[in-house]
Amino acid sequence: MIARTWRGATAATDGDLYSNYLLETGVKECESTPGNCGVYVLRRTDGDRCEFLFVSLWESMKAVREFAGSDTGRGVFYPEDERYLIEFDADVHHYEVVKGPATGTSCSDSPRPTRTA
């Protein structure tokens, strides 16, 4: 299993708006891509900044390519990211998952989180 990580920050006042925007864009696209095993969106407010860590889990790098395209080292961005982000990583990082909730099972065996409106 592969973990794909990306980091960005907004103004603290935009934290809720950007969280919702991420759910409607990146999270929705990741979860609809075959081979996705789940997504974590982590956030913390530190003073006047709201920092985000986006972690998506994938069956393989082939599945990552289905989401990200051939340049898997670059972030995937959406039209309004520029409106919210005051700092962001243009590149992403990939890690082999050594231990995690779904390690040892296929993605299809893992319970899928359900989102409520």
Q: Is residue 111 part of a domain?
A: no
Residues 13, 89: Cα–Cα separation, whole Å: 20
What would the pLDDT profile of 81-98 be if each residue is shown by its tens digit? 999 999 999 999 999 999
Q: Is residue 49 part of a domain?
A: yes
Q: Is residue 105 part of a domain?
A: no
What would the pLDDT profile of 17-36 be if each residue is shown by its tens digit? 999 999 999 999 999 999 99
What would the pLDDT profile of 59-76 be if each residue is shown by its tens digit? 999 999 999 999 999 999
Q: State how many domains the chain has.
A: 1
Extract the tokens encoding 86.
């005051």
Instruction: Note down the domain range covering 53.
Output: 2-99
Residue 78 maps to which CATH number? 3.30.70.100
Q: In which element (H, E) is residue 5 found?
A: strand 2-11
Residues 64, 116: Cα–Cα separation, whole Å: 26
Q: Is residue 114 part of a domain?
A: no
Q: Which one is predicted more confidently, 107 or 78?
A: 78
Can you give the pTM of this predicted structure? 0.83
Name the average pLDDT for the chain. Answer: 90
Q: Is residue 108 part of a domain?
A: no
DSSP strand pairing (93-96 vs 2-11): antiparallel
